[in-house]
Chain A
Amino acid sequence: MANKVLNQPESSATLLSTELNNLANGSFAVDGADYDNATNMYRWADFELFLDDFDAAPDANGTFELHFFYKLDGTNYADGYDGDADSDSKPGSNTLQGLFVVTANDADQRIQLLKVPLQPYAFRACIKNNCGQDLTAVDTHHLKIFPYNEEIQ
């Protein structure tokens, strides 16, 4: 009998946590470490953004943008600027991977973003706050990745 398939989830990882503390509206936070998809070579990933919580209720239909800066040459990040993937990066349409849409609720919000395609390179994740409010200063916000593959033999 042929093999069954397989939409097999792989190990999850936390990409951003304390970096999200006090993230101001209009600002972004970049992961300080790579997610090494050059080794993992996962094809897809789901993401969970946990916001715990806001200085005040955000705008209904406000967003948090998910960006990736890929390290295509193994050294420099394609971050729209000098390749450092840090605070002077320029997240834009070219790096945008998806949107987390929030509700106008000043409380915990746990939001999913599904089936984001991954490229086989290391990257750093970036979250841009565009929800109309700052995140709280010290809390337990996080961005987690849940990668998986469709089996192709």
Chain B
Amino acid sequence: MIGAIPNPTFVEALACMHSGGRVSEAPELWRGLRGLWAPVVGVQGDVLHDLSGYSRDGALTGMDIATDWVVCSQGHTLDFDGTDDYIAIPGLHLGSAMSVITTIRFDDLSKSRAIVGEFAAPGNTWLIYYWIGGGGDRISLWDGSDTYCVGPAVSTWLELAVVNDSHGCQIYFDGEPQSMNGGAQSWSQGTDELRIGCWTGYYLDGAIARLAVYDRALSTAEVAAHYSDPLGMLRPSSGLIVSVPSGTSYDVTIAEAAGVADTVSGALSAVGSVAESASIQDAVSGLVDWTVTLSFTPSIGDAVTASAQFVGTVAEAAALADTVAGVGDMTLSVDEALGVTDAVASLVEIDLAVLETVTVTCTISGVVADQVITYEVIQLSGADILHTLDAAQISLILSDETFTLE
């Protein structure tokens, strides 16, 4: 459904187009794509740009660009008046193996309405349309005769998919296959233009948010993918993913402004850092000889974990609760302003026969004169104890203001 995730911008849609869909969130849906028109990514003047990469831009015909670009629950859409509005698209000639998917709303179903079709001579033509009349209302794929299902509701947004090849024709409403009457349709590739919203005397009264055309039959799973996120194929994937090759030494830094969740992972001798400004939840993990530095400013609870040979630092501005935990040789530190509760924990098997030092350092800044600071060392008890930290192994570094320890 459009609207479940923010719509991509026109610029973002172009970025997906220029890459042939490879940078999009749904690159698999670009296979066989022959036309993609999406009013929903923003106003485009008197041209409806083809975002498939095939340059089949549509000309708004009989339409008023000042009033027919309409903002609704889907975002921007194009409104068709049912009288003379349509979009003319040159040079798109589909054979009988094809799929059409559109996000559409019918505002009036009191008479038959064209949706999209190739405006050509009989035998070279096809049309997807709404029919009302003898036999009851229906959505139909027509090649001279109809294959159809029962028609949709008026004034409701519908994700309509029509899939046809030599095995048959299937129509879907909102990702669900409908009960069909009739079999596969066939025609030869035509030579005339594609029209959205018009066929000799039939005009669409409603709105279209997007329309995609394929030269192959989509699978049921692909139709469902379109329904669950109709604009994923026009949304560039977000977030950097950096994988450090095993057995190599590698330095990784990801530095971003905001709004992206990152993953940094590595196997051997990896050094990674993530530096961000706000509102990010990151996961940083490594196996051996792994050094991680996280630096954030506000409003995030961070977690850093490692299995061995771990050096971890969490440095933040204020108001965050952090957890730093590891197993094995460790140097852990937390550097923050006051008013924050942190936990610094070494979990198991700190063996002094192997390990010489476990250092836990808290550096507290922002101390004001005569401020009371409390700290507490909580340790395991009973048989689980392998070592008890004494005072010499706890380093508490305070700023150079006057303070009182309790």
Checking B15, B43, B66, B254 against A104 with a beta-carbon cut-off of 8 angstroms, the contacting residue is: B66
Could you pull out 12 A-B pairs where Cβ atoms are within 8 angstroms?
Answer: A2-B293, A2-B294, A4-B275, A5-B275, A7-B257, A93-B51, A98-B11, A99-B43, A115-B11, A150-B255, A152-B255, A153-B255
Does B57 make an interface contact (CB < 8 A)? yes
Given A113-B11, A117-B15, answer yes or no on A5-B276 (Cβ-Cβ < 8 Å): yes
Say whether A13 faces chain B, with CB atoms less than 8 Å apart: no
Whose C-beta in chain A lies nearest to the C-beta of B57?
A93
Residue B315 interfacial (CB < 8 Å) = yes
Within 8 A of A (CB), among B53-80: 53-55, 57, 65-66, 69
Per-residue CB contact flags for chain A residues 1-16 toward chain B (1 = under 8 Å, else 0) read 1111111000000000
- Closest CB of chain A to B98's CB: distance in Å? 21
Residue of A nearest to B15 (CB): A117
Q: Are A62 and B65 in contact (CB under 8 A)?
A: yes
Q: How far is the CA of A114 from the CA of B12 in the complex (A)?
A: 10
Say whether B253 contacts A61, CB under 8 Å: no
Q: For the complex, what is the distance from the CA of A115 to the CA of B14, rounded to whole Å?
A: 12
Q: Work out how many contacts link A and B, with CB atoms closer than 8 A.
A: 103
Chain A residues in the interface with B (C-beta under 8 A) = 1-7, 59-63, 92-94, 96-99, 101, 104, 113-117, 130-132, 150-153
Nearest-neighbor residue (CB-CB) of B65 within chain A: A61
**Closest chain B residue to A3 by CB distance?**
B275
- Report A-chain residues with C-beta under 8 Å of the C-beta of B277: 4-5
A60 to B63: give the CA distance in the assembly, Å: 13
Q: 5 other contacts beyond A94-B55, A98-B11, A132-B46, with CB at 8 A cut-off?
A: A1-B335, A61-B45, A101-B45, A152-B240, A153-B253
| Alpha-carbon distance between A116 and B256 when the two chains are bound, in angstroms | 17
Interface centre among A59, A94, A99, A113 (most CB of B within 10 A): A99
Q: Collect the chain A residues with CB atoms within 8 Å of residue B309's CB.
A: none
Which of under 10, 10 to 19, 20 to 34, or 35 or more describes the interface residues of B?
A: 35 or more
Counting from the closest, the 4 A-B pairs by CB-CB distance are A5-B255, A63-B45, A60-B66, A2-B295
Contact A98:B65 (CB < 8 A) given known A2-B295, A6-B255, A63-B43: no
> Which partner residue on chain A sits nearest B292 by CB separation?
A2
Q: Is the CB of A93 within 8 A of B66?
A: no
B→A interface (CB under 8 Å): 9-12, 14-15, 17-18, 42-47, 49-51, 53-55, 57, 65-66, 69, 240, 251, 253-257, 273-277, 293-295, 313, 315, 335
Task: Give bound CA distance, A151 to B252, whole Å.
Answer: 12
Q: How far is the CA of A92 from the CA of B49 in the complex (A)?
A: 10
Nearest CB on B from A96, distance (A): 6
Question: Distance (Å) between the CB of A125 and the closest chain B CB?
Answer: 15
Residue of A3, A61, A98, A130 with most partner-chain B CB within 10 A? A61
Chain B residues in 8 Å Cβ range of A92: 55
What residue in chain B is nearest A131 (Cβ atoms)? B45
Could you tell me if B44 and A99 are in contact, using CB atoms closer than 8 angstroms? yes
Contacts of A94 in B (CB 8 A): 18, 53, 55
Q: How far is the CB of A26 from chain B (nearest CB, A)?
A: 11
A130 with B45: CB separation less than 8 A: yes
What distance in Å separates the Cβ of A104 from its nearest Cβ neighbour in chain B? 6
Identify which of B14, B66, B276 contacts A98 (C-beta below 8 A).
B14
Q: How many Å lie between the Cα of A113 and that of B43 in the bound state? A: 13
> Which residues from chain B contact A130 at a C-beta distance below 8 Å?
45-47
Q: Which residues of B contact A4 (CB under 8 A)?
A: 255, 275, 277, 295
- Closest chain B CB from A116 CB (angstroms): 6
Q: Considering the chains assembled together, what is the distance between the CA atoms of A99 and B13 in angstroms?
A: 12
Given known A-B contacts A2-B274, A2-B275, A61 and B43 have beta carbons under 8 A apart: yes
User: How many Å lie between the Cα of A92 and that of B90 in the bound state?
Assistant: 14
